Structure 1
Amino acid sequence: MDTAASLAFFQNLYTGVSLYVVPELAAAAVPPVVAAAEAPTPAATPLPAPAPVAAAPTPDIPAAPAAPAPRPVPVATAPVPPASVPVPPVVPPAAAPSVVATADMSAAGPLFNVATLAELPAAPAAPPSQPGRIQPTPTQSPVAHIPFATLGSNPNGLLILVRVSPEEFKKLPRNVFLNNILKAIRLVMEDVVLVNVEHEKFPVALCSLRQQLAARQFLAFGKNLLDVAVYTTQPYEPVLLYGDTAFLGASEIKMLEYDAGRKKQLWQSMQRMFL
């Protein structure tokens, strides 16, 4: 028989069986697992029950002694002096006076500000008046009867003199230019008193103003507004009248609002007076 045909015959006969495994070696290679599995398992020998252990006698533990009560601490008391010895009264130490710096006074509350005056020259002597005219003084004046109106609540502040109609005078506290002028010298409208001279020609008397107001600073917007300054002052020239009254005259507010040159003159004179 052909070798190839013989090989095909045996392959069909022993399908699934390797033709190259030696039976003896295959049997020797398989471990006896089945035999070991079939061997009877010896019964487990029960362990003897443990003998009861006798409890050891517990010695008697004495109770902890109670904590001793705290002993009262004696309070030291001042010895009572004999009745014959006078006891001086106890005087508490005097509190140190509070010192407030001048620069911090502005933070103390909403107080009225007073512009600080610079050193100003004294007003020149009044020229000889015309025959029949009397030179006014701080205590008496021929125009003491001239009426005036006021707006403001600070009698010790700056006095602003004007001559306008009553309707314009009521609107003056809201004037933008006037508020800016006050702001430049670190003041507000509540720090000043507005005075409107109600006569069209004659000035108001200083002696009449001092009956109601104690101010010593005057800023006049217009001509012939204060009697003691008519002959002794020049526009935009701040001076001291009678040694205690600072006065500065300027043009009317309506003229200053639209005139840059006059506003510059006013600011320079206010710097000399207040700053």
Structure 2
Amino acid sequence: MDTAASLAFFQNLYTGVSLYVVPEPALQPAAATTVAAPAPVAAPAPTVAAPVAVAAAPATAPAPPIPHPTPTDAVPTPTVPASAPAAPLVPPVAPLPPPAPAPDAAAGPLFNVAQLAELPAAPAAPPSQPGRLQPTPTQSPVAHIPFATLGSNPNGLVLLVRVSPEEFKKLPRNVFLNNILKAIRLVMEDVVLVNVEHEKFPVALCSLRQTLAARQFLAFGKNLLDVAVYTTQPYEPVLLYGDTAFLGASEIKMLEYDAGRKKQLWQSMQRMFLA
């Protein structure tokens, strides 16, 4: 078969059929002018503990329905297990006691009072000299003897002395006296200083009790209190008439520089106040 006949045969056989197609180059997709809106994502419900990830769905797929919480399950009710410990109970607060009443201003300031130990009673007075009367707590032949006082505590310890008026004014600052009072837990404001203003005669107990209610006496010297002249010994604390404690000692000037007398005084004060 010649060439022309072969060509004609094939043209009739493949009429309308493309025997060879040249592929066209792939074109890049043009930038989209409109962006497809993403599928709506359901917001996590208040009752869901952790958010649920929603996969992106095709634009043509319908969005899943969003669950709406009902009023009954909007706020979950917490449940307490039976084994949970109960809340501690707060004990009731006791009411405060009423405040103590303020002391009466007319009664005077409050002071410390030395506590007495059990003291022996004073011995009976010896027969007095003819013509002399033994004084009593209510009457005395020396009731007229004057005396001076320093201090504002009528119920405190009474310190009896016989010194000059100038020395008497300095006694509240006397170091020896302040140390003695400190040893029995007192201060100078807790006592009353009494200066007997007669060189020989003692002061009367009945006269002192007109202005002082104290029943504790510490005498620095001889012949200072009428009811103790015949019934007491130095450095021997006793009870006079069952209610008046008395202790006699040497003069302050002698005690300040005598260690032996200081020791005697301290031992007797221990028996009187600290026993």
Normalised by the size of structure 1, how large is the TM-score?
A: 0.65
Asked if 1:48 corresponds to 2:29, the answer is yes
SS in structure 1 of the partner of residue 210 of structure 2: coil
Partner of 2:137: 138
Partner of 1:271: 270
Deviation readout 1:99-147 (Å, 9 max, x if unpaired): x9xxxxxxxxx94111110000000011111111111000000100100
> Between Structure 1 and Structure 2, which shows a larger proportion of helix residues?
1
SS in structure 2 of the partner of residue 196 of structure 1: strand
Partner of 2:198: 199
Letter in 2 for 1:268: Q
Partner of 2:175: 176
Partner of 1:162: 161
Letter in 1 for 2:162: R
The offset of 1:97, in angstroms, is: 6.6
Runs of 4+ in 1 over 3 A off after TM superposition: 50-59, 95-98
Partner of 2:259: 260
Gaps of 5+ in 1: 1-44, 69-94, 101-109
SS in structure 1 of the partner of residue 28 of structure 2: coil
User: In structure 2, what is the Cα distance between the partners aligned to 1:240 and 1:234?
Assistant: 12
Letter in 1 for 2:225: L
The offset of 1:54, in angstroms, is: 4.8
Relative to structure 1, the CA distance from residue 48 to residue 96 in structure 2 (aligned partners, 3 Å threshold; closer, same or farther) is closer
Relative to structure 1, the CA distance from residue 204 to residue 53 in structure 2 (aligned partners, 3 Å threshold; closer, same or farther) is closer
SS in structure 2 of the partner of residue 256 of structure 1: helix
Identity over the aligned pairs, expressed in percent?
89
Letter in 1 for 2:147: F
Letter in 2 for 1:224: N
The offset of 1:264, in angstroms, is: 0.6
User: In structure 2, what is the Cα distance between the partners aligned to 1:174 and 1:54?
Assistant: 107
Deviation readout 1:201-235 (Å, 9 max, x if unpaired): 10000000000000010000000000000000000
The offset of 1:96, in angstroms, is: 8.7
Partner of 1:244: 243
The offset of 1:237, in angstroms, is: 0.4
SS in structure 1 of the partner of residue 189 of structure 2: helix
SS in structure 1 of the partner of residue 242 of structure 2: coil
Normalised by the size of structure 2, how large is the TM-score?
A: 0.65
Deviation readout 1:177-214 (Å, 9 max, x if unpaired): 11111111111000000000001110000000000000
Partner of 1:120: 119
User: In structure 2, what is the Cα distance between the partners aligned to 1:218 and 1:169?
Assistant: 17
The offset of 1:50, in angstroms, is: 3.6
Relative to structure 1, the CA distance from residue 53 to residue 156 in structure 2 (aligned partners, 3 Å threshold; closer, same or farther) is closer
Moved more, 46-55 or 222-231: 46-55
- The correspondence of residues 60-139 of structure 1 with structure 2, limited to 5 A, is 111-139=110-138
SS in structure 1 of the partner of residue 223 of structure 2: coil
Relative to structure 1, the CA distance from residue 50 to residue 270 in structure 2 (aligned partners, 3 Å threshold; closer, same or farther) is same
Gaps of 5+ in 2: 1-25, 38-58, 73-94, 101-108
Partner of 1:4: none
Asked if 1:227 corresponds to 2:226, the answer is yes
Relative to structure 1, the CA distance from residue 48 to residue 163 in structure 2 (aligned partners, 3 Å threshold; closer, same or farther) is same
Partner of 1:42: none
Deviation readout 1:159-183 (Å, 9 max, x if unpaired): 0000000000000001111111111
User: In structure 2, what is the Cα distance between the partners aligned to 1:152 and 1:53?
Assistant: 107
User: In structure 1, what is the Cα distance between the partners aligned to 2:28 and 2:254?
Assistant: 129
